[in-house]
Structure 1
């Protein structure tokens, strides 16, 4: 008897199957890589925002610690600026005080100067391109709760704003800032209001 030949029998994978598998695995790895990059960017953003939160809390605590000075009423006609004010223009130009009040006795105004300088140094060292400003955003009369002049014995509200650069792409904003930086509108920011 003659046997019938059915052709050669192939086992294993063909080259086409191997190439398709390689393409599918490569696409999966690219997706994982993109996911990892995004996770790292989000982690960095969360870290910088938590640093900014700690820094705003730090200066708020410093303001509260110097409460008698903060709540003092300037004498009538006094041109002394209100305490704990730091505009953006002053931020970089702030000079190191002669007394840092770390171990020596300080007056209240010396403590304010030391507090502002130490806070500025912390913002600059802990945030990329870090800057900050502190302004009095509102004043209310203690008895009535109505808005009043900030030069009286008003209850003052400070607004603390910290700016930093967390952009990966220098032309694309990474965060929306409610009070954009005048020179760097793409910077991220954190704003906190404090009423000691």
Structure 2
């Protein structure tokens, strides 16, 4: 009895191709997880910067309670804080000058620490509220909990508010 020896050629190559395909899918998934992680970390950094900046102004306001009571810390526009009346911090003598100087320095810190952000201070029910707004880039396929905040370009508007009682 003679046996015919048949070779199974190409079967190993098919196993290797399937293994490579599975490995590539896994690597793409890991790359996407890394991207989401980086973006989430940057978003957390921006939120913590907003909190730090709001607390900074709150402390400045608590240090100048006469300026807060007099309404010197409120302005209609972010652009109202473009200049300071004091050449040096020690030149500020009145509560209004100190408030203008504080707002000028705070504005420059916000611009440096949270690019693209705008700040405002409003009186709500007798309490001054420091508010920061900024735009954060998000992944296109990430759904927003508030559809009004989601733009077509993948940006979400974020806001941080801090009530300040002098």
Q: TM-score normalized by structure 2?
A: 0.80
How far apart, in 1, do the equivalents of 2:138 and 2:26 lie?
Answer: 24
Q: Which has the higher helix share?
A: 2
SS of 1:84's partner is: coil
CA RMSD after TM alignment: 2.8
- Contact in 1 for aligned 2:67/2:73 (Cα 8 Å): no
Among 107, 111, 119, the alignment partner of 2:98 is 111
- 1:168-190 per-position Cα deviation (integer Å, ceiling 9, x unaligned): 469x88685xxxxxxxx942111
- 1:11-35 per-position Cα deviation (integer Å, ceiling 9, x unaligned): 9961110110011000000100110
Q: For residue 45 of structure 1, what is the aligned residue in structure 2?
A: 43
How far apart, in 2, do the equivalents of 1:103 and 1:175 lie?
Answer: 47
Equivalences, count: 157
Correspondence list, 1:22-37, <5 A: 22-37=20-35
How far apart, in 1, do the equivalents of 2:159 and 2:143 lie?
Answer: 11
Give the unaligned 5+ runs of structure 1.
Answer: 73-81, 140-156, 177-184
Q: TM-score normalized by structure 1?
A: 0.69
Give the unaligned 5+ runs of structure 2.
Answer: 147-154
SS of 1:97's partner is: coil
How far apart, in 1, do the equivalents of 2:144 and 2:116 lie?
Answer: 15
Closer, same or farther in 2 for the Cα pair 1:58/1:189, shift >3 Å? same
- Contact in 1 for aligned 2:74/2:121 (Cα 8 Å): yes
